Amino acid sequence: MPLIRRKKPNEPSKTSASDSKTPSEEEEDSNNKEHQKKPISGRAQEKPGSKPKWSCIDSCCWFVGCICIAWWVLLFLYNAMPAYVPQYVTEAITGPLPDPPGVKLKKEGLKVKHPVVFVPGIVTAGLELWEGHQCADGLFRKRLWGGTFGEVYKRPLCWVEHMSLHNETGLDPPGIRVRPVSGLVAADYFAPGYFVWAVLMANLARIGYEEKTMYMASYDWRLSFQNTEVRDQTLSRMKTNIELMVATNGGNKAVIIPHSMGVLYFLHFMKWVEEPAPMGGGGGPDWCAKHIKAVMNIGGPFLGVPKAVAGLFSAEARDIAVARAIAPGFLENDIFSLQTLQHVMRMSRTWDSTMSMIPRGGDTIWGGLDWAPEEGYIPSTRRQRNNDTNNGCQDGIENEVSQRESVKYGRIISFGKDVAEAHSSDIERIEFRDAVKGRSVANNTCRDVWTEYHEMGYGGIKAVAEYKLYTAGSILDLLHFVAPKMMERGSAHFSYGIADNLDDPKYKHYKYWSNPLETRLPNAPEMEIFSMYGVGIPTERAYVYKLSPAAECYIPFQIDTSADGEDEDSCLKDGVYTVDGDETVPVLSAGFMCAKAWRGKTRFNPSGSRTYIREYYHSPPANLLEGRGTQSGAHVDIMGNFALIEDLMRVAAGATGEELGGDQVYSDIFKWSKKINLSL
Amino acid sequence: MALIVRFRKLCFVEPVRFQSYESQKCEKKEEIVAPPTKNGLEINKKKTKRGPRELSCIDYCCWMIGYLCTIWWLLFFLYHCLPATLLGFQVPESPGTRLKREGLIAQHPVVLVPGFVTGGLELWEGKPCAEGLFRKRLWGGTFSEMFKRSLCWLDHLILHNETGLDPPGVRVRAVPGLAAADYFASGYFVWAVLIENLAKIGYEGKNLFMAAYDWRLSFQNTEIRDQALTRLKSKIELMYVTNGYKKVVVVPHSMGAIYFLHFLKWVELSPLMGGGSGPGWCSKHIKAIMNIGPTFLGSPKMVTSILTTEGKDVARFRAMLSGVLDSELLGIQTVEHVLRVSRTWDSTVSLLPKGGETIWGNLDWFPEEGQVCVCSKKRSLLTSTNDNSTDVKGGLQVKESNKYGRIVSFGKSASQLPSSELPSFDTKEFFGLHMDKNSGSSCGQVWTEYDVINRESIRKFAENKAFTAATVFDLLRFVAPKMMQRAESQFSHGIADNLDDPKYEHYIYWSNPLETRLPDAPDMEIYCLYGVGVPTERSYVLKISPADRCKSIPFRIDTSVDGEEGSCLKNGVYLVDGDESVPALSAGFMCAKGWKGRTRFNPFGSRTYIREYQHKPSSSLLEGRTTESGSHVDVLGNYAFIEDVLRVAAGATGAEIGGDRIHSDILKMSEKINLQL
């Protein structure tokens, strides 16, 4: 940039130069005029009097021009740069990158065999607008969810309005149709640059997969599972597509890869497809056996996630709670009439699917007031890899005994830290279920943001706080109490219990289909079920709550971020108890079914489909250049984990679970499962 | 965006010029200034003092760029702040909104079948040069790769020379879903307007499906490679079931019409040859086929595009900038490369004129006889409104000299002489000739089949001859033997004498409406919807390419040939009525005559309707592609067409939307065609 270098020293002397103008210069000026016509005339418009002087505006323009030129030059250089340079730089810094699994396995001679079906999870798939209100003009077939999220910033209220569902039916509100994006583009990237399925697809393509052998079963993740069939016939389409792919690929059965909530969705599908026609798909009792080779669940919240409770209860999870603590008042700011959280809550409470993730199995699975399967949890990092830096819960085996007493994971929500740690007999609890909900006094001050909390009034809120401790079982009652409408809608579609007798005809109803504890696996002894998930990341398991200070217009509860454990490595951090998991789903939820409930021939798995657990130990990316890492175990980033991709590809190319190496376990999942007393 | 780019160029060029000029000046100035100041130090001082002042030309440039940028941004910002209504366009209400108010709602699922070229293609596996393009569009979208690495791009779009399938190591596949052909390039809609209007009356992903296929392949190969037909069948069945057992409405465009014809035949045949659904499938699943701008009988445009890769537009462009396209200096050889690639696409052959001389006319006779030339008619309509009598006369005058039947003629005289004066030819005599090879060594790497053929023989073969729709195949076979051999095992272009002949069970006949029967579906309606009123290429005057270098293509359109004022001959191309790509004859004949009533091609009497849309050019540039356009692709945004589709999709029958609506002479023309029915 010689321009800049030469220019800089001169600026101050400019005025003097133009002041002391010699006649010869003036002559030249007139000579120059021809070539400088544009600038001069432009300047003349602005400042008719002082022609050759540089004003502030001129300097600004000059500056902008310089920057523009510099930018263009850089852009040009960047575009002209051969493609291998960035990779070369990265390799120089981090050492040679490992071959992506696609390349490696292609060298081994793996080829496309079984068609592959992806079932995306909650939130990660795109939604687009098909019909909207006036304010959404010009957004036809544009993504409302996923992509750049440009509309969230441009017209947030309009966006919230379109993303919400009808409060009572859980379907479209009148005049609005938002539909899932179809095809592989639905969830390859969530936002530009943030991959979800793209890495897996790219690797599968290397061994010969293409659009005809890959299918993204995208569905509207806001709806309850049965409603996706009622509104969009999504389940029927999925069935037809799987049949079609199996037929056009020489009868090779499909490999299903559901992720996150997709796991539950596919569980629902497997039951639906074999049920007779009016309620189900009418595929006959051996449909799954005929069409499915393996179900490879990635990060599946089989038994729900505690995070969903916090999300429904106060629209916040650990991240939001921390943000709230750092910048108090910002999220609740009334001045900008933002009320962000309230809006988010109002919107997300209309989404039935969030209720599919409420912890299932009650106290039997998640533990009671004084008991939890994870009791005495020591981060597996400590025991297996002693040299690893430990971001887990406890400091070591010495502390184990003392800590064991204090961490009571069974209490998913407790009001106050002291309550969370005290023994159950010491706590006085007041029954909240019959408490009278007082009318809130000044409802009109709360603007148009309506959440069900306004109907509870002080009395109800107080009653909730008085009960103090909630386990997985009583959480349901709590949610029924604070959000009756939502739960009424939800309980028509989902069930959270444990079946005593699976032969009971009531279990034919679709609301039980997505609960692995209240439904049987299909009769498909050849079918393999994998539970694949990341471990080694602290995952939310239980919360310490407090009453929100300004309890009227706001959401009355919030996570007590001041509640911290005694020392650095405590499991309690910012009011959240964490256990091992993949950041979203605790190990227990992801692994229990495959570790115990479906292992061998049980009443949940009468035909004895084989199950495998594949855990992937999380190791964070070494530096920023690596992006999201190739060994990550985090809930979404695991989709780029090379070990996971390799496993998926081997199975897709024909390998069985045994050939992969059977179970691969780092966590205490088997120990914990043993503690759970469930009749099988 | 284009403006920005242009503007950026402007900015880039200017500074350089100024700088060099100015720096010369600066030196001069110093010389002038130096003599009076005797002290060297003083000079130095002056220099340092002055340097900035004199360099300020650069500053000025920066300043100017900044100035313009700022203004540009400001205007841009203001433009965005303006509410759309302020811009003053009174956009006519879209048919979707209007029909919704009338109470129409989505009834029948709709299947869209895109045509030639308009569907997107994406890369699934490529050579190293295409690194980073995985699942990016090679065809459609921005076409940015075409400019960045054009040779690589061509390498991936080409198909295998012999099989007509993927070349080894390259997998390019059709983009699936509605995104395949809603917009061809950004801002250039294809189906988007129709989709938007369908959505207004309640259509969405579950009852709207785009049957995207790889349009480069022959139709049967789309099934062999991608199972495209099987998927289409399963999609239609699914939509039929999930939408309450309502039959589908199919809307094929352009080549999609014959693709779907192929599908109709395929789906009912036994599993060995076809889809194995048995007779009755079409009648059970399909309510109506609304062909828009169908190329049932082919398009003469394809003949020249195979011979010379040029249509009317390219030819004129070439005439204007002679040498640029053929420039060897840059090593571009654009046309040759395009020829090489497009000749591997089997589907082009499906668009060659079908039916031979019976349909397209022979040396002396043609069905458009007596038709007033469109271009002259239009012009006189514009200038004099009620001068009809002279207008017709003018048309009749022209008529005498036009011989549309001669699809390709070499030299203007050959195109106009009575047939008795034309030199007769004997194809067999020539087929021995082209074996003696040209010295192909000097011909670079761009290999087209032309290199194998002796120039001299081409000259002998072609000189002063005229070719009809039947004999033009001899010409094609002569100049492109390999391609025709490959493609003719996929497509047939004749007329069946006896449809019961078992040979017509073979798939090469399925996409030719003159060699196949419509399925047993008496309730199925067939529409021929197309634009008229746009001059459409019908026959060509070619010349032997002057530069007989080995690399060049030996023929090109003789753009110097023009008829008299008001003639249909323009720049070497004879024009007739049509939609710019497909003559009305090709689009309308089957519905007007070939399938009308119970004929041997339509033994079960499916009803047919013709709906023509008169082309109205946009009155101003601001309007863009109008809502009343009749040209081949723009007609998809024609509101009358959209309304027809919406009404049928919402349950109306052909009679209810008004039956036939004809502006052209299609009925007269069809009458003249002597085809046994």
- Residue-wise pLDDT for A455-471, tens only, equals 666 777 778 888 888 88
Q: How confident is the model at residue B478 (pLDDT cuts 50, 70, 90)?
A: confident
A-chain residues within 8 Å CB-CB of B56?
14
Going by pLDDT thresholds of 50, 70 and 90, the confidence category of residue B286 is very high
CA distances from A100 to A88, A111, A206, B170 (A): 16, 16, 10, 20
Tens of pLDDT along B303-339? 888 877 666 656 655 555 555 555 444 455 667 777 7
Q: What is the mean pLDDT of residues B132-156?
A: 81
State mean pLDDT over B174-193: 86
Chain A segment 46-105 residues within 8 A of B by beta carbon are 58, 60-66, 68-69, 72, 83
Nearest-CA distance A103 → chain B (Å): 12
CB atoms within 10 A of CB B180: 24
Residues in chain A closer than 8 A to B130 (CB atoms) = none
Is B73's Cβ below 8 Å from some Cβ in A?
no
Instruction: Report how many helices (DSSP H) and strands (DSSP E) chain B contains, helices first.
Output: 25, 17
- Do residue A69 and residue B32 have CB atoms under 8 angstroms apart? no
* pLDDT surpassing 70 at residue B270: yes
Catalytic positions of A = 260, 582, 635
- Over range B586-614, report the average pLDDT: 91
On average, the pLDDT of chain B sits at 76
How high is the ipTM of this complex?
0.80
Question: Is B276 an interface residue toward A (CB < 8 Å)?
Answer: no
Q: Check pLDDT > 70 for residue A442.
A: no
* pLDDT above 70 coverage of chain B, percent: 71
Determine, for residues B52 and A9 on separate chains, whether the beta-carbon distance falls below 8 Å. yes
Stretch among A94-98, A373-377, B34-38, B147-151 having the lowest mean pLDDT: B34-38
Q: Are A438 and A498 a contacting pair, CB within 8 Å?
A: no
In chain B, residues 204-223 whose CB comes closer than 8 Å to chain A: 204-206
Tens of pLDDT, residue by residue over A327-365, are 555 555 444 445 677 777 778 888 888 888 889 988 888
Q: In 3D, which of B512, B565, B526, B528 has the Cα closest to residue B664?
A: B528
Give the per-residue pLDDT at B41.
45
Cβ pair A24:B182 closer than 8 A: no
Which ranges of B333-471 would DSSP assign to H, the alpha helix?
334-342, 347-350, 356-360, 374-383, 388-401, 412-416, 427-431, 455-462
Residue B4 has pLDDT above 80, yes or no: no
In this prediction, residue B1 carries a pLDDT of 43
Compute φ and ψ for A672, nearest 5 degrees.
-65, -40
Residue A571 pLDDT = 75
User: Between residues A337 and B539, which one has the greater pLDDT?
Assistant: B539
C-alpha–C-alpha distance, residues A290 and A277, integer Å: 18
Is residue B274 scored above 80 in pLDDT?
Answer: yes
Contact B195 A237 (CB under 8 A): no
Task: Please tell me which residue in B166, B326, B391, B579 is annotated as part of the active site.
Answer: B579
Q: Which residues contact A283 (CB under 8 A, 6 or more apart)?
A: A239, A273, A274
Task: Give the CA distances from residue B470 to residues A282, B554, B573, in Å, rounded to whole numbers and listed in that order.
Answer: 55, 21, 19
Helices assigned H by DSSP within B82-149: 95-101, 144-148
Nearest CB to B21 within list A35, A64, A247: A35
Q: Report residue A84's pLDDT band, with 50, 70 and 90 as the boundaries.
A: low
Q: Is the pLDDT of residue B10 over 50?
A: no
With a cut of 90, say whether residue B626 has pLDDT above it. Answer: no
Closest alpha carbon within chain A to B129: A83
Where is average pLDDT lowest: A41-45, B53-57, B476-480? A41-45
Which carries the bigger pLDDT value, residue A399 or residue A523? A523
Strand-pairing partners, residue A546, are A558
Structure tokens at A102: 């696609």
**Cβ <8 Å between B199 and A247:** no
The CA distance from A16 to the nearest CA of chain B, in Å, is 9
Question: What's the pLDDT at B398?
Answer: 41
CB within 8 Å: B58 and A188: no
* Element counts in chain A: helices (H) and strands (E): 28, 17
**pLDDT at position B160:** 87
Q: How far is B619 from chain A (nearest CA, A)?
A: 25
Within 8 A of A61 by CB-CB distance, chain B residues are 62-64, 66-67, 70
Are the CB atoms for B492 and B484 separated by under 8 Å? Answer: no
- Neighbouring residues of B271: CB distance < 8 A, sequence distance ≥ 6: none
Written as six digits, the tokens of A366 are 């998640």
Residues shown for chain A = 680
Kindly report, residue by residue over A550-602, the tens digit of the pLDDT: 545 567 787 887 777 666 566 777 788 888 888 889 999 999 999 999 998 99
Q: Give SS3 for B317.
A: helix
- Provide mean pLDDT across the span B120-130: 87
B253 is catalytic: no
Q: How far apart are CA A666 and CA B531, in angstroms?
A: 68
B57 at A interface, C-beta within 8 A? yes
Cβ separation of B25 and A32 shorter than 8 Å? yes
**One-letter amino acid for residue B452 of the chain:** V
Q: Decide if pLDDT at B20 tops 60.
A: no
Kindly report, residue by residue over B574-589, the tens digit of the pLDDT. 888 888 888 898 999 9
- Distance between first and last Cα of chain B: 55
Q: Which residues of chain B have a CB within 8 Å of the CB of A18? A: 53
Among the residue ranges A78-92, A194-208, A623-637, the one predicted with the least confidence is: A78-92
Of A427-431, B444-448, B531-535, the least confident: B444-448
Contact A212 B226 (CB under 8 A): yes
Q: Compute CA distances B191 → B34, B114, B116, B176, B439, whole Å.
A: 72, 8, 13, 14, 48
Amino acid at site B259 = Y
pLDDT band for position A412 (50/70/90)? Answer: confident
Q: Quick one: average pLDDT of A108-127?
A: 90
Q: What is the pLDDT of residues B512-535, one digit of tens each?
A: 999 988 999 999 999 999 999 888
Establish if A244 touches chain B: CB-CB under 8 angstroms: yes
The band of A17, judged by pLDDT with boundaries at 50, 70 and 90, is very low
Please tell me which residue in B254, B347, B376, B581 is annotated as part of the active site.
Answer: B254
Q: In this model, does residue A233 exceed pLDDT 70?
A: yes
User: Model confidence over B388-416: pLDDT tens digits?
Assistant: 333 333 333 444 456 677 888 887 777 67
- Establish how many alpha carbons lie within 13 A of residue A325's alpha carbon, considering only the half-sphere containing its beta carbon: 17
Q: Is the CB of A179 inside 8 Å of chain B's CB atoms?
A: yes
What's residue A45's pLDDT? 44
- Chain A residues whose CB is inside 8 A of the B49 CB are 13, 16-17
Considering only residues 562 to 581 of chain A, which have any Cβ-Cβ distance to chain B shorter than 8 Å? none
**Secondary structure of B371-387 as H, E, C letters:** CCCHHHHHHHHHHCCCC
Tokens of B529: 């919807």
Tokens in use for B340? 């090489």
Contact B58, B19 (CB under 8 A): yes
A55 CB neighbours in chain B (<8 A) are none
Whole-number percent of chain A with pLDDT over 90 = 22
Where is average pLDDT lowest: A160-169, A603-612, B379-388, B423-432?
B379-388
Nearest chain B residue to A210 by CA distance is B124
Q: Which helix (H) or strand (E) holds A254?
A: strand A254-258
CB atoms B196 and A24 under 8 Å: no
| Residue B58 touches partner A, C-beta closer than 8 Å | yes
Q: How far is B14 from chain A (nearest CA, A)?
A: 10
pLDDT at res. A534: 92
If one compares A253 and A458, the residue with the highest pLDDT of the two is A253
pLDDT surpasses 60 at B9:
no
Q: How would residue B276 be classed by pLDDT, with cut points 50, 70 and 90?
A: confident
- Is B205–A7 a contact, with Cβ atoms under 8 angstroms apart? no
Closest chain A residue to B242, measured at CA? A233
Binned at pLDDT 50, 70 and 90, residue B425 comes out as low
pLDDT tens digits along B245-267: 999 999 999 899 999 999 999 99
Who's near B484: CB < 8 A, 6+ residues apart? B349, B473, B476, B477
The residue ranges of DSSP E strands in A268-396, in sequence order, are 292-298
- Which among A13-27, A665-679, B25-39, B618-632 has the top mean pLDDT? A665-679
Chain A residues closer than 8 Å to B172 by CB: none
Please, what is the Cα angle at A60 between A57 and A63, to 5 degrees? Answer: 155
pLDDT at residue number B211: 92
Place of tokens 């690893």: A388
- 3-class state of residue A368 by DSSP: coil
Report the pLDDT value the prediction gives residue A61, as an integer from 0 to 100.
80
* Confidence class for position B595, pLDDT limits 50, 70, 90: very high
B465 against A625, higher pLDDT = B465
The answer to whether B538 contacts chain A (CB < 8 Å) is no
Measure B102 CA to nearest chain A CA, in Å: 17
Query: In chain A, positions 348-377, which contact chain B (CB-CB < 8 Å)?
Result: none
Sign of torsion over alpha carbons B517, B521, B523, B524: negative
Nearest beta carbon to residue A140 from set B32, B61, B199: B199
User: Any idea what DSSP says for residue A272?
Assistant: H
Residue A215, pLDDT above cutoff 90: yes
| Element spanning B534, H or E | strand B534-544
- Give mean pLDDT, residues A610-635: 82
Q: Note the pLDDT of residue B436.
A: 43
Residue B671 contacts A, CB cutoff 8 Å:
no
pLDDT value, residue A452: 66
**pLDDT greater at residue B432 or residue A537:** A537
Query: In terms of pLDDT, which residue wins out, B440 or A421?
Result: A421
What's residue B445's pLDDT?
Answer: 47
How far apart CA A636 and CA A123 sit, in angstroms, is 11
What tokens does A40 get? 């001069």
CB contact under 8 A, A61 and B63: yes
pLDDT at residue A451, as a whole number: 58
CA distance A230 to chain B (A): 10
Per-residue pLDDT tens for A154-171?
778 888 889 889 888 888
pLDDT tens-digit series, residues B67-90: 888 888 888 888 776 655 555 555
pLDDT exceeds cutoff 90 at A268: yes
Class of residue B366 by CB neighbours under 10 A (exposed 0-12, middle 13-18, buried 19+): buried
B49 to chain A, closest Cα gap in Å: 7
| Residue A217 pLDDT | 92
Chain B residue with CA closest to A8: the answer is B52
pLDDT at B119 over 60: yes
- Which of B446 and A254 is assigned the larger pLDDT? A254
Amino acid letter, residue B329: L
Examine the pLDDT at A408 and tell me if it is beyond 80.
Answer: no
- Chain A residue with minimal CA distance to B127? A206
Question: pTM here?
Answer: 0.82
